[in-house]
Amino acid sequence: MARINSNISSLVARGNLQRANQDLNVRLKRLATGLRINRGADDPAGLIVSERLRSELKAMGQGINNSERAQSVISTSEASLAEVSDLLNSMKSLVVQSANSGAISQEEIQANQLQLDSAIESITRISNTASFAGLKLLDGSLGYSLSGVNQSLIAKSEVFAANFGTRSNIQVDVEVVGSAQQAQLFARSDFANVVAGATNGVLLSGLTLEIAGPAGVQVLNLGSTTTIDDMINAVNAFSENTGIKAERVNAASISSGVRFFSTTFGTDAFISVKRLGNSGTFFNTASLPNNAAPATLDFTNSTTFNSATQDFGKDVVALVNGELARGRGAGLSIRSGSLEMELLLATGFATTVSATPTSFNITGGGSLFQLGPRVSPSQQVNIGIRSIAASRLGGTFIASSAAAAPELQFLESLKSGGKNSLFTKNFSVSSEIVDTAIDEISSLRGRLGAFELNTVEPNIRALEAAVENVTAAESKIRDADFAQEITALNRAQIISSTATSILATSNAQAQSVLQLLG
């Protein structure tokens, strides 16, 4: 049949040509852009997945940048802390040199004091000036803000890390469940109850004692007429050499006995009181069973004491927010998923089990590092960098006299006119404060170094590996396979040419109708 109004073969050829040209355009676009998916119609599901992967890649890339920025902050802080460490080491040398008073003149001590003053001022200046891109690093602005700390119970508090999450503050409850204790031994002085005609508080015969403690050993030779108070004074005169002091069990009664005790608390503290030689067989020492109070001691009742020549202290045991904290002496340290801190408890609080906790709040502060690709607490690290000003560094409990309560003293006290300047000749105290400051700076450097080594650097490596894998996955979904696309392009070109030729032939068929007209 020959029709001229409807050329079906032409319509079929035109449709095929149109589809061939569309396919050809797709291949050309993919080859021009290098992408298999250029618009949603190319692959709706693939577009959704690839866009999510692209978003993750951007976030991972920023996480790497954040981590590298954190490294720069830590490196800058650590460099300043290294300078402070050098200054503290030189201060230690100056204190030790000045203690050699038999071979050093007052002029040299004065020169050393000037150097100490300069070093202390430099430490505070470094604290105030260390910065990174305008961000103060060591002046305490990156430390945590605390409120409600009862300093009569908690003498020092240092928060190293706190994860707030969605909370505006973190409440910290501290409850002592096991008291910190000194090493202690007891000796009786009611000699009239031991030997008829004897005098309470006066030794029955000559006595040689070896007093040993955490600081060293000292031997005391006591005569037969030595009183208990004289013996106590002799022990206390060498307390800096031994770390041991002595006192009456009951200050109002000379016959109440003698208490020998370490000046420090905890398992690091120990005491040994031994009688040397054959004389003084009347003198014996005892410890208290089950951590009993000294008031329970009764030398006429053997169940109230145990014969012993040495004893060890005990570390404080406490719960911090319901978790058992690690104690050392009167200090506590806790590291949990949301909180890392150290506390130094006041003596009265550390040695009393009252079942009444003290509370304070961490209200903010710290330095928040966003290390992961998602903004969530699990991918953030919040650490605190304390102030290293001389007025905040080296805090140590120091008793100004045997009867005075210990007072927290800092590096600033070593300056001219301070309680522990070289002119006061409190060289052992000055050395102890400098040692504490050195430990604090070393600990801070170690924490920052551990954060960089064990958190930041692994995080960078993990994110870089993730970027490689996610990029490969996104490429498989979105990028064009050039070999496949070129093959498809050649096919589309052939089909397009063929369809064009068929369309021309179909259109020419209608002309054959004219031959019927003759």
d(CA 37, CA 18): 21
CA angle 180/185/186 to nearest 5° reads: 125
Strand partners, 218: 211
Are the CB atoms for 333 and 341 separated by under 8 Å?
yes
Query: Of 268, 273, 315, 275, whose CA–CA distance to 291 is shortest?
Result: 315
CATH number at residue 133: 1.20.1330.10
Residue ranges with strand state E in 367-425: 367-370, 380-383, 396-398, 407-409
231 and 272 together in one domain: yes
Per-residue CA distances from 487 to 27, 34, 97, 494, 499 (Å) = 9, 15, 87, 11, 18
Note whether residue 231 is domain-resident: yes
| Residue range 295-337, pLDDT digits in tens | 888 888 888 899 999 999 999 999 999 899 989 999 999 988 7
| Residue range 106-146, pLDDT digits in tens | 899 999 999 999 999 999 999 999 999 889 999 988 889 99
Query: Of 191, 178, 144, 153, whose CA–CA distance to 361 is shortest?
Result: 144
User: Residue type for 79, please?
Assistant: A
Note whether residue 170 is domain-resident: yes
DSSP-derived 3-state class of residue 376: coil
In the block, residue with structure tokens 């609080």: 349
201 and 293 together in one domain: yes
Query: Of 283, 292, 338, whose CA–CA distance to 311 is shortest?
Result: 292
Q: Is the pLDDT of residue 492 over 80?
A: no
In the block, residue with structure tokens 């959704």: 48
Separate counts of helices (H) and strands (E) for the chain: 9, 23
Q: Is the pLDDT of residue 509 over 80?
A: no
Note whether residue 429 is domain-resident: yes
Note whether residue 469 is domain-resident: no
The CA dihedral of 383, 389, 392, 394, to the nearest 10 degrees, is: 100
Note whether residue 174 is domain-resident: yes
Which residues are CB-neighbours of 176 under 8 A, at least 6 positions away?
316, 317, 318, 345, 349, 350, 352, 353, 354
115 and 19 together in one domain: no
* Confidence bin at 448 (pLDDT 50/70/90): very high
168 and 187 together in one domain: no
| Domain extent for 300 | 182-312
508 and 453 together in one domain: no
Q: What is the pTM of this model?
A: 0.76
459 and 330 together in one domain: yes
Q: Is the pLDDT of residue 1 over 70?
A: no
Note whether residue 445 is domain-resident: yes
250 and 374 together in one domain: no
Q: Percent of the chain at pLDDT above 70?
A: 95
The number of distinct structural domains making up the chain is: 3
